[in-house]
Structure 1
Amino acid sequence: MEYSDLQFFNFQPTFVVALLVALPSILLGFIAVSHHRAKPSCALPMIGLYHVFMNKTGLIHVTLGNMADKYGPIFSFPTGGHRALVVSSWEMAKECFTGNNDIVFSNRPMPLSFKIIFNAGGIDSAGLSQVPYGKYWRELRKICVHNLLSNQQLLKFRHLINSQVDTSFNKLYESCNKSKNSENEGDSTTTAAGMVRMDDWLGKLSFNVIGRIVCGFQSDTDTSATSSAERFTVAIDEASRFMSIPAVSDTFPWLGWIDQLSGLIKDMKHHAKKLDLVVESIIEDHRQKRRFSRTKKGDENTTEDEQDDFIDICLSIMEQPELPGNNYARQMPIKSIIVDMIGGATDTTKLTTIWTLSLLLNNRHVLDKAKEEVDAHFGTKRKSTNGEVMVDFDDIRNLVYVQAIIKESMRLYPASPVVERLSSEDCVVGGFHVPAGTRLWVNVWKVQREPEVWDDPSVFRPERFLSNEQKMVDVRGQDYELLPFGAGRRICPGVSFSMDLMHLVLTRLILEFEMKSPVGEVDMTATQGLMSYKVVPLDILLTRRML
């Protein structure tokens, strides 16, 4: 899902008019709360730092990083109708994500788009990413991790993942072959480069993989434009477009009537209904297949071979009597979880791999060193398999430099530069009192570039993760100087899946293709938003390597 386009600080003319209309009530509210403690000098009455973030030329995490240089690793300010606490050092991040504070900050703010588009208005219908922390959330997370994202379950899904990755790589081979045939007809000794837009290819690869293990989509056999996968993609893209439209009420709750008056809520509900119908049809297809399978076998009990994907597993779990809610409410978590899992995993994997490839193309010496490591490992493997080479997940643990490359890429360009949480009660961070309802912004981008922790923090240097000092630093939330997946109870549950898939794809690209940028230096400008996309899509000239 294209969450990254969320320009939630976009200053629209509609808002200006609304602000003037509501000015008297806002002034009264401001006077009532004027006893709040000091804030950054650039903050203005009523709107806080809204005017700072509405500037499209500056990235939010960079702006917050510059403010941290001036105000320190922890500071607070009003932003519209809320108060924000910004944390920019690993020590402060650790304090937020350990002990009782981890529980306090285990909720996320619920934007209007999530409430409407993903039908997450109540605890029984919210997905894993947005449901409030508590017993219900723990049960949902247990279901997702145990049945989809655990190491044991990923082992069961490996053949499905490899199959979808193979299909995507076959598309790259076809691109190279077409270029070869058009440029050198009849000459079988030549090779040609195929131009590939990696954003599109990696997006489809990630969607195909997670779509297969979650929904059972078969990208290698079902290519119809009316297939479930195609309809789901269209529906989720349309819904995501509305996520990019800022809701005034997200920043100024007392101006929620503007969202109603502008038609935003009506349009969101329309697309929420379309998405709901598509996901419901996918679930119903699974129900029908299960009924047919049981009728054929004369057995009303779920059999192991019925559980081909995550939806099947969820349906089996929901047949158990101890789940809360009526039939309709009990069904809603599956819908929300489907959107959560596919959207979250697709974005993180795609973005990180794109930034990694961009860094490699701009640092050829690192790419050459990675190629040496990969060739050395698979050269030995070729000798033991009579020339046949198949990259397997087990190979990843031996490719320490490739692992270091991905870590370094995630350090410099985290997919989510700012992690946002919401305090459920009063607490203390860094000696400061934090009221309930405060929005916590952990500036991951700034934390991962602290000069006190990282030598030459802005330089792409994977070797830093091979040194004794930082060799054991990991991305799984226990080392607070490196937090690309977040930390604490609300850390991304798909860390293992994303890391395995990124290592597999990057290793195969290095092993099987020569890669060049058609424009020389790759533009590394990032977009504004919750997710860090490249402004300029990544095109690569790919040539098959002669293995």
Structure 2
Amino acid sequence: MLPDYLNILFSVILLLLTLFISTLFFKSFRKQSTKFRPPPSPPSLPIIGHLHLLTGSVMPKSFQTLAALYGPLIQLHLGASTCVVVSNAQVAKEVLKTHELNFSNRPQFGSSNYFLYKGSYFITAPYGPHWRFMRKICMTKLLSTSQLNKFTHVREQEITKLLEFLIMCGNEGKDSDLSMELTTLTNNILCRMAMSSSRMGHAANDAKEIHHLIKEFFDVGAKLSVGEILGPLGKFDLFGYGKKLTKIVGNFDQIVERIMKELEEKMDVLNDHKDCEIEGGDMMDILLQVYKDANAEVRLTRNDIKAFFLDIFLAGTDTIAVALQWAMVEIINHPKVFNEIRAEIDSVVGLCKLVKESDVQNLTYLQAVVKEVLRLHPTAPFVLRQSAEDCKINGYDIKGEARTLVNVYAIMRDPESWVKPEEFIPERFLINPDGINGQENLMENKGQDFMYLPFGNGRRGCPGASLALSVLHVTIGALIQCFDWKVKDGDKVDINEGFSAGLAKPLVCYPVIHCNPFK
């Protein structure tokens, strides 16, 4: 046996060793418990990250699939770019409401480095005095209810032009590319509401040129944004898309600058005749008056005004047109819905009396159809946000300046929130749906339930939602009221989606005249 002192020494050493190991364990545990905990992320590949999971797919649908596997909050590495993706209503509410102020900024992308109006944009402007001032002007003047009502005749005139063209096609038995015609419609409406194109001799040419430039902008901007995955290499403009984008914006600048000067000259003449008033009162009139107001809360520059109009055309033209295309696709492919819309219009408006915006409030089924179209095919599949500071979302740590994509496409197709989410069922938005769970009935487009977010939510929600809905309701109503539609190739329209959830192919149909409201 060991002497007593050796036993005591051994016991002391064992106790000290135990204490040492325990201290290390608790320190390690505490360090682990306070360690930064990012959202879950799928297995990635070197350099490209998770890009291989998106190739050849519809992007929002790809993110939806990943969310089903890894949870409603995931982190993705797309080359050198990292983003956080939100895919259900509960987490969306945390981002857009609970932490709304922290997520009040929108992320900047590589293409912004080549914008002529850098620092002057409204949609992507940092949350601050300039953005708040522009938002205030939008909601109280530029896109207010009274301002929209002032230009009801513009929307009616442009819809009439579309119908007259389609009637001509119907009489001649020709097909029509509705994708192109509906984009032209929305572009013309925006041009006339934005810059009083009706009072300019070369208005039609301006509208066409702006339409062409916006189309080019989307094409080149999308290619340039791929530079995000290259990280620092993207700044070298290896493929020349940056120069092309700069040229496109420069051409847009020349058009808008000329229009601004023409209007300023007219304003100066009218100011010399105090008994005269400026006609039109469009967005350009309003912004130039603010520009010349020395006492304005925030002084606008000419670039601020031109950047605002570029934002308007980029945000409005394609989004409204794509929503109109999807509406026609779903309605044509669902004859029962088509017949229900027409029967309601005939009952409320009358036979061959053209539907107007004032009729929409009484066309409840048409409203339900538009809501269902926007649920399945939101005007923008993602709500883009960027965190200002570190925060916790759904139990995970989100770093400051993290690009955050709220996948509204996935949220509005979530089986936990919606009955038969992949099916087109307008009745879900009626007061007494037949056989459908009534949870969705009373929802409005305000996004308070965070399961229906077609126009985003909160202070950075889409300020043009009312304009979009005005155009959607009356255009769809008129196209169903006046025509039957035959699909060019087959009985049903191809519903395949493109990479960003738009139509994969142009919508080409034969308009068959049902009634001519102009006779």
TM-score of the superposition, structure 2-length normalised? 0.85
**CA offsets, 1:321-380, max 9 Å, x none?**
134888xx611111011111122222221111100110111111111111111111123x
- 8 Å contact from structure 1 (residues 290, 306) kept in 2: no
TM-score of the superposition, structure 1-length normalised? 0.81
Worse-superposed segment, 240-249 or 64-73: 240-249
Name the counterpart of 1:131.
125
- 8 Å contact from structure 1 (residues 451, 457) kept in 2: yes
Name the counterpart of 2:424.
460
Match for residue 526 of structure 1 among 479, 482, 497: 497
Name the counterpart of 2:73.
74
In 2 relative to 1, CA 294–112 (structure 1 residues): closer, same or farther, beyond 3 Å?
Answer: same
The alignment partner of 2:156 has SS state of helix
Structure ID, larger Rg: 2
- Cα distance in 2 for partners of 1:218, 1:42 equals 56
- Cα distance in 1 for partners of 2:185, 2:109 equals 29
Worse-superposed segment, 488-497 or 305-314: 305-314
In 2 relative to 1, CA 45–347 (structure 1 residues): closer, same or farther, beyond 3 Å?
Answer: same
In 2 relative to 1, CA 452–36 (structure 1 residues): closer, same or farther, beyond 3 Å?
Answer: closer
Deviation at 1:272, TM superposition (A): 2.5
Match for residue 312 of structure 1 among 262, 276, 285: 285
Gaps of 5+ in 2: 1-34
**CA offsets, 1:254-279, max 9 Å, x none?**
223432x4433333323332222122
Match for residue 108 of structure 1 among 106, 109, 119: 106
- 8 Å contact from structure 2 (residues 83, 404) kept in 1: yes
**CA offsets, 1:375-413, max 9 Å, x none?**
11123xx6xxxxx72422221111111111111111111
Match for residue 147 of structure 2 among 149, 153, 172: 153
- 8 Å contact from structure 2 (residues 387, 404) kept in 1: yes
Match for residue 178 of structure 2 among 198, 211, 225: 198
Name the counterpart of 2:9.
none
* Map 1:298-377 → 2, pairs under 5 A: 304-323=277-296, 330-377=301-348
Worse-superposed segment, 473-482 or 241-250: 241-250
Deviation at 1:492, TM superposition (A): 0.6
The alignment partner of 1:440 has SS state of strand
Match for residue 162 of structure 1 among 149, 156, 171: 156
Name the counterpart of 1:121.
118
- Cα distance in 1 for partners of 2:298, 2:409 equals 40
- Cα distance in 2 for partners of 1:487, 1:448 equals 14
**CA offsets, 1:299-320, max 9 Å, x none?**
7xxx643453210111111111
**CA offsets, 1:171-201, max 9 Å, x none?**
2222223x1xxxxxxxxxxxxx442111111
- Residue 234 (1) aligns with residue 190 (2): no
- Cα distance in 2 for partners of 1:254, 1:313 equals 41
- 8 Å contact from structure 1 (residues 120, 131) kept in 2: no
Amino acid of the residue matched to residue 85 of structure 1? V
Match for residue 453 of structure 2 among 483, 486, 492: 483
Deviation at 1:233, TM superposition (A): 2.6
- Residue 217 (1) aligns with residue 218 (2): no
User: Share of identical aligned residues, percent?
Assistant: 29
Gaps of 5+ in 1: 1-33, 180-192, 383-387
Amino acid of the residue matched to residue 455 of structure 1? V
- 8 Å contact from structure 1 (residues 422, 439) kept in 2: yes
- Residue 96 (1) aligns with residue 95 (2): yes
- Cα distance in 2 for partners of 1:174, 1:356 equals 23
In 2 relative to 1, CA 239–452 (structure 1 residues): closer, same or farther, beyond 3 Å?
Answer: closer
Amino acid of the residue matched to residue 326 of structure 2? W
- Cα distance in 2 for partners of 1:95, 1:258 equals 38
The alignment partner of 1:483 has SS state of coil
Worse-superposed segment, 160-169 or 357-366: 160-169
The alignment partner of 1:516 has SS state of strand
- Cα distance in 2 for partners of 1:171, 1:121 equals 40
Match for residue 537 of structure 1 among 506, 509, 514: 506
- Cα distance in 1 for partners of 2:449, 2:109 equals 29
- 8 Å contact from structure 1 (residues 421, 439) kept in 2: yes
Deviation at 1:248, TM superposition (A): 5.3
Match for residue 223 of structure 2 among 227, 230, 245: 245
- Residue 404 (1) aligns with residue 402 (2): no
Please give the root-mean-square deviation of Cα atoms over the aligned residues, in Å. 2.4
Name the counterpart of 1:63.
62
- Residue 48 (1) aligns with residue 46 (2): no
Worse-superposed segment, 74-83 or 156-165: 74-83
The alignment partner of 2:444 has SS state of coil
In 2 relative to 1, CA 399–255 (structure 1 residues): closer, same or farther, beyond 3 Å?
Answer: same
- Cα distance in 2 for partners of 1:342, 1:335 equals 11
**CA offsets, 1:215-244, max 9 Å, x none?**
11239x96787x322332333333333212
- 8 Å contact from structure 1 (residues 131, 137) kept in 2: yes
Deviation at 1:45, TM superposition (A): 4.0
- 8 Å contact from structure 1 (residues 323, 330) kept in 2: no
- 8 Å contact from structure 1 (residues 248, 255) kept in 2: no
**CA offsets, 1:414-468, max 9 Å, x none?**
2222222111111221121111011111111111111122111111111111134
**Size of the alignment, in residue pairs?**
475
In 2 relative to 1, CA 149–37 (structure 1 residues): closer, same or farther, beyond 3 Å?
Answer: closer
Match for residue 474 of structure 2 among 499, 504, 507: 504
**CA offsets, 1:44-88, max 9 Å, x none?**
3444212323x1x21111111111111111122333334321111
- Cα distance in 2 for partners of 1:265, 1:324 equals 35
- Cα distance in 1 for partners of 2:178, 2:136 equals 34
Amino acid of the residue matched to residue 470 of structure 2? D
Deviation at 1:157, TM superposition (A): 1.7
In 2 relative to 1, CA 262–324 (structure 1 residues): closer, same or farther, beyond 3 Å?
Answer: farther
In 2 relative to 1, CA 317–307 (structure 1 residues): closer, same or farther, beyond 3 Å?
Answer: farther
- Cα distance in 2 for partners of 1:347, 1:248 equals 20
In 2 relative to 1, CA 268–209 (structure 1 residues): closer, same or farther, beyond 3 Å?
Answer: closer
Name the counterpart of 1:513.
483
Deviation at 1:540, TM superposition (A): 1.7
Match for residue 440 of structure 1 among 404, 416, 431: 404
- 8 Å contact from structure 1 (residues 109, 420) kept in 2: yes
